[in-house]
Structure 1
Amino acid sequence: MNGEMIREPKGEVIVIFVHGLLGGVGDSWTNSNGTYWPELLENESDLESVGIYVFTYHSDFSSGDYGLSDIVDALREQMKTDDIIKNKKLLFICHSMGGIVVRKYLVENASKLIECDCEIGLYLLASPSLGSLYANWLEPIINIFNHRQASMLKFIRRNPHLSDLDREFMNLKELSDLNIVGKEIIEDKFIFFDKFFKRQIVEPFSGGRYFGEPFKVPMSDHFSIAQPENKHAIQHRLLCQFISDFTFNKYLFPHSIKRIFSRADSHDFQENIESLIRGCGHFVLIGTGLTILQKDPFAYEVFERAKNNEFKIEIYLADPHSPDVQCRLIEEELGTLKPPVGKSGLTKRLDTLYGLWKDFDFSDNISINVFRNYPTFALIIIDDNYFIYPYGFAKLGNFSPVMSFLKTGNTDDSMIRFLDDQYVSIKNSSCDLRKIRSRGNDDAEIVKDLYSFALYIVPPKDSDLYVFGTDVLGYDVRARLNKKSQWEDFVGDAFEYGFHLTICDALYFYNVSDVKLAVTAIEYISKDFVPFEINNLRIRESYPSQNCLSVVGDDAGGSLEALHFEFVTNVYRRAAESNYSLGMAGPPRDKNIHRSRLMIEKYKAPYIIKKFCPHFTLLNKINNSSMKAVSEKLNVIFLNSVKDTTLRVDSLALMKKDYYKGKWVIEKEIRLG
């Protein structure tokens, strides 16, 4: 190990060459024509004030158990001995493993460098930030020679040491007071037989990780990239430009400004995400479509690794059938570029992911969920790395810029808290994809896992109308008590619901969050309606169906009709199921079965809009032969007991089903106006 000073610095900047695995002074930096890169740099007249220093370390096959920590110790002591640390600006030129050596040196000596007010430049040449698959393949040779340095280069998914260093360096770069800038140069082809070996020794996702816009040197391999032929070689020209910018302070160090990718569908961003996922322990994907999941080989790879307990996956995708999500999809159609996915694409993606999940036995390490809220941004969390890109108005998320943040440290605390809150909110409001796909299997069991909901008009408890209706049905829905009814043979299942007029049918939601959203919509809409009256209350037989007897009235002002229409638009469409969609109730009074099926498919209920028949059900199990006699008797009782045939409506009753008792109960009342 030694350090050679090629030229003493005349200013603040010194360039430090650090070679890679199996390299040395001559091997690493010398072209086959004899050009030695440090001397080539020395001949640049525009950079004559820049110092040049070459560090070498024991790295051949005989280095044995001389490992990374030993090299870092040697670099630190050599720089201290040669007084390199006195320079304010340290620019490291690192080939291959040299980049790992320097990154570890910076992590371990950050406090000293900060104390000295140093600025750091990194010019990384084919440096395997995440390791190299070829080091995995060379494992037998590594074992024979007990070569600790080569073992360090194994790909990150099998290399916790490199994974830890990656995270520590990322935190150092983004969050500490040590100013670091860099440029990453990547190789183009394999070192030999490049027609057969398509992968580079250090692939782009591993060699271009930290600084954005990595440059691939055409026709270069892992070794020639560090051996420029002459001063016109592109890697040399880029180095000179980088040194010049670093020397004359053309780089700013605003730690509050995060790395931004130009577009969510950019190759740079996609590669960065894939590389992080391959080395992580847990990741979360939240978005409308998430193009990262379009790549079948990659999706299969991550599902397989999750099944093998290598990490945990959480996926949250937009439900293409949700009205709020559809609003977003419609909005995207306004853009200049039409959406390549749309509703059918989202449905297909959910189908594909569900199939993959099923293929891997619905592993507990995989969670796939759908959300129904209007999406405003996509969020990707990979361990401590957070990526967010917005959904602009009429702008596809693919074309949005991506901002990244780190959880470790204090700089991003407020943003991380915000993103974590959003993640938890979406998680709590989403539904397991398996629950949605279980429809039609056993509807009686499914409904127990859903959240019930209905909206009724229930007369005041002391009103003649309510007392009359309750006595007939035999169930006091306000007091939640059963009563003896002389009409129990004819009541049927109307008993379960109590005396009411339906504004919004019995619906079911996947989770509490969806119910809260529906209730909020009702409260919001109800504020725009003043109390109104239902007039001319009377008994009507065979209404709304042949076997029913009901109390009906007149909605002269149209408030009842308008409320119903608002709730069809804003509540019915949000529901997951209804008694009709689950097959627990049929549409017997609708002669147009095609219309009924369409209404159930779109709105979960058939008796809506023009088929809306507002009524208070009394009995719904009367045979034809008994209808006239029962109707006449009840009509007499009604006329004698109900003195006021006008009902003032100033509130709506929010209902839920008590599954233990098998009846519906009032959860709360929502005032009009």
Structure 2
Amino acid sequence: MTQLEKMRWVLFYVFIVLFVLIVGSTVWVIFFSSNGWNSQDKAFITKIFVGEVGLSVIALFYGLFNLKNVQNQEAFSRMSTEIQIAASDTFYVKTHPRSQHPKFFSEVEELIPKSKNITLIAVGLNLLWEKHIVDLLIRRAQEGACNVTVCMGNTASPHVEDRFIEEEMEWNRPQVGRSGVDRNIRALVERLQASGNPRNFKFVLFEHYPTFATLMFDDDLFIYPYGYQSLGNTSPIFHVRNDGGDQANFFLENARKIVSDSIPASDLISVRKNRKFRSDDWILAAVYIIPSQDSRIYQFGSSVLGYDIYRAQAIPASQDLTFARECVGESAEYGFHATLADALYFSSEQQIERVRAEVRFLSQEFKPFHLDGLEPAVSPHDGRAAIIRAQDSSGTVESIHHELVSRVYRLAVSSTYLTGQTTKALPGDGQRAQMMLERYGSPFILENFMLHFTVCGSCPEEATSGIVDGVRQKMGGILRERVFVDQIVLVTKRPGQSRWTIEESFPLCGPRWP
């Protein structure tokens, strides 16, 4: 009951009470009072009384029926408003209590045969547990009647792995989990290959932390959230429709970005089957320390290598450095630098953007520092390489390197070491080296990491010591200088490029640096 209705009833009851008092007072005055009314006066007062009663009864009935009528009008108005709202809400359709509900699966089976564009985005995508649904999707794609995009979680991504870890934290352990999703990815890749890889069927893997699944059948969208420590198949699933509004466009654009930023599932499976697999479309990226362009050590090192990475220009050989230039090898492609993160392969520009964001955030955690103790030497990792070793007493290089191993190495699809796209020597069959290669793509990381600048990477082993002596002599007083490091640099080598170039430099501006 509304406040207005309550007020009307209060006024009604007040009227009844006053009416009873007036009637009672009139009757008492006419018939029981001792004021000496004569019969003519009583007759006149009685007529007035009867008229008052009649008017009161009319007023009472009008009030009752009018109140009821007002209630009916308000009820009708509310119902009309609800109907109008329902008619105007073309976005929301209904909700299923869980994403694995039989009614939802039945609805999907009805939508697939008549949909022309289907996009399915979820970590494990429980729809694909049903063989007849997979068969139907592939057949529709083969016939050219439907464009199908399946986007699942890359189980090798540390961000997707976070989701699997959360699901393992509660007593309700997942029945499928990471290993089950791995099996489903591999099975679908093999199934598509057996079906001739229909060009209308796109299978990719996302690498971000998932927040909700999106299943789209033309204009019918199904959304279910990934609750904290809750399995996705226990979440309610919301059926909405693309009505062209802002709400629908939000989910459509989100799905487009996820698919755009995902990697081909076939690449992941190919790498797992053959560690030397490499796609010509992949992009190389690394993170370096590159001394200031004006520093004497950078000018010397760039002159030896014959490449200025800041300007992306070749440097003509000088007469006094000819002895070293002949032994530079592939080092000339990289430019003068000290490695923080090795040359890693990424499958898309979106992955490069992710690396860029990781390095930017990391640069904000450290302040500038100095390198000293410069000393030419034969590399302990490769007897053919002449290097300049350096020391960092602040521990910054070690910290940044460890952070990059955690943040960036596992985002990569492969590395130059794994694919054999480097002339650098690899260690033997040691267990540690194999473990580091398999998991991170490089054997020279963590406790085997060594801060150094490479100047000659392809020396005849018997001549390396002599070249090191020559480098030491040519450097002279540079060896006593300190190298100021106030930035870390993301470098890339894209398909078709012969040399590495600077993608972006990130100033070290940690919390204790103004």
Fold shared by both chains (TM-score > 0.5): yes
Return the offset for 1:556.
0.8
CA displacement at 1:599 relative to structure 2:
1.0
User: Judging changes above 3 Å, is the alpha-carbon distance between structure 1 residues 662 and 593 closer, same or farther for their aligned structure 2 residues?
Assistant: farther
Q: 1:481 aligns with which of 294, 308, 313?
A: 313
Tell me, yes or no, if structure 1 residue 577 matches structure 2 residue 421: no
TM-superposed CA distance for 1:299, in Å, is 1.3
Q: Which residue of 2 aligns with 1:646?
A: 482
Q: Residues 122-137 of structure 1 correspond to what in structure 2 (within 5 A)?
A: none
State the one-letter code of the partner of 2:499: K
**Cα contact 1:259–1:403 (8 A) shared by 2:** yes
Deviations 1:515-571 (A, max 9, x none): 111110110011010001111112123444212111111111110000000000001
Say whether the 8 Å CA contact 2:92–2:239 is kept in structure 1: no
Q: Quote the offset at 1:396 in angstroms.
A: 0.4
Deviation at 1:453, TM superposition (A): 0.8
Structure 2 unaligned blocks of 5 or more: 1-71, 73-78, 510-514
Normalised by the length of structure 2, the TM-score is: 0.78
Distance apart, 1:176 and its partner CA: 2.5
Which residue does 1:563 correspond to in 2? 400
Cα shift readout 1:368-423 (whole Å, capped 9, x = no counterpart): 111111111110111111110000011000000111111136xxx22211101111
Partner residue of 1:527? Answer: 364
Contact 2:341 2:404 in 1 (8 A): yes
After TM superposition, the structure 1 = structure 2 runs for residues 277-426 of structure 1, keeping only pairs within 5 Å, are: 277-408=112-243, 413-426=245-258
SS at match of 1:492: coil
- The percent identity for this pair of structures is 28
- Cα offset for 1:445? 9.1
- In structure 1, distance between residues paired with 2:274 and 2:439: 21
CA distance in 1, matches of 2:90, 2:492: 52
Q: Shift of the alpha carbon at 1:579?
A: 0.2
TM-score, structure 1 length as denominator? 0.60
CA distance in 1, matches of 2:328, 2:380: 14
The 3-state SS of whatever aligns with 2:418 is coil
Residue in structure 2 matched with residue 610 of structure 1 by the alignment: 447
Aligned residue for 2:417, secondary structure, equals coil
The alpha-carbon deviation at position 258 of structure 1 amounts to 4.3
State the distance in 2 between where 1:499 and 1:625 align. 24
CA contact under 8 A between 2:366 and 2:396: conserved in structure 1? yes
Partner Cα separation in structure 1 for residue 389 and residue 122 of structure 2: 48
Cα deviation for residue 645 of structure 1 reads 2.2
Give 1:443 shift: 9.2
Map 1:443-462; keep pairs closer than 5 Å: 446-462=278-294
- Displacement, 1:589? 5.3
CA, structure 1 residues 298+396, in 2 after alignment: closer, same or farther (shift >3 Å)? same
**C-alpha distance in 2, partners of 1:659/1:518?**
18
Once residues 306 and 458 of structure 1 are traced to their aligned partners in structure 2, the CA distance between those partners, rounded to angstroms, is 50
1:444: how far off?
9.4
- Counterpart amino acid of 2:310? R
1:594-624 Cα deviation digits (max 9, x unpaired): 2222112211111100010110001122223
**Alignment partner, residue 376 of structure 2:** 539
Question: Which residue among 87, 97, 101 is the counterpart of 1:262?
Answer: 97
Counterparts of 1:661 and 1:361, CA distance in 2: 33
Determine which of 498, 502, 511 is the counterpart of 1:666.
Answer: 502
Contact 1:547 1:623 in 2 (8 A): yes
Instruction: Look up the equivalent residue of 1:294 and give its one-letter code.
Output: W
Is the 8 Å Cα contact of residues 553 and 615 (structure 1) preserved in structure 2? yes
| 2:268 is the counterpart of 1:432 | no
Alpha-carbon displacement from aligned partner over 1:211-266 (angstroms, at most 9, x marks no partner):
xxxxxxxxxxxxxxxxxxxxxxxxxxxxxxxxxxxxxxxxxxx8776411101111
Question: What residue is the counterpart of 1:176 in the other structure?
Answer: 87
Q: How does 1:233-252 map to 2 (within 5 A)?
A: none
Indicate conservation of the 8 Å contact 2:276/2:418, yes or no. Answer: no
Q: CA deviation at 1:314?
A: 1.1
In structure 2, what residue type is equivalent to 1:271?
Answer: S
1:290 is displaced (CA, Å) by 1.1
Q: Which of residues 348, 371, 376 is equivalent to 1:511?
A: 348
The unaligned stretches of length 5 or more in structure 1 are 1-87, 89-115, 121-172, 178-253
Rg comparison, structure with higher value = 2
User: How far apart in 1 are the matches of 2:481 and 2:151?
Assistant: 52
C-alpha change, 1:397 and 1:608, in structure 2 (3 Å) is same
**d(CA) in 1 for partners of 2:119, 2:399:** 42
Asked whether the 8 Å contact 1:461–1:467 carries over to 2, the reply is: yes
Given that residues 383 and 464 in structure 2 are in contact (C-alpha distance below 8 angstroms), is that contact kept between their aligned partners in structure 1? no
Shift of 1:625: 2.7
What is the rounded CA distance, in whole Å, between the counterparts of 2:152 and 2:489 in structure 1? 34
Contact 1:443–1:583 (CA<8 Å) still a contact in 2?
no
Q: 1:262 to 1:354 in 2, by over 3 A?
A: same
Check conservation: 1:532, 1:649, Cα contact below 8 A: yes
Given candidates 477, 486, 491, the residue that maps to 1:655 is: 491
Q: Note if contact 1:332-1:395 (Cα within 8 Å) is conserved in structure 2.
A: yes
2: CA distance, partners of 1:312 / 1:634: 61
Does 2:468 align with 1:631?
yes
Map 1:486-505 → 2, pairs under 5 A: 486=322, 487-505=324-342
**Contact persistence 2:290–2:489 (CA under 8 A):** yes
Q: CA deviation at 1:286?
A: 0.4
Distance 1:415 1:256, change over 3 A: closer
1:506 aligns to what SS in structure 2? strand
Aligned 8 A contact 1:174 1:406 in 2: no
Secondary structure of 2:268's counterpart equals helix
Higher relative contact order (CA 8 A, sep 6+): 2
Tell me if the contact between 2:271 and 2:277 (Cα under 8 Å) persists in the aligned partners. Answer: no
Give CA-to-partner distance per residue, 1:315-352, whole Å, 9 cap, x none: 11111111111111111111231111112111111122
Cα contact 1:447–1:508 (8 A) shared by 2: no
| C-alpha RMSD of matched pairs (Å) | 2.7
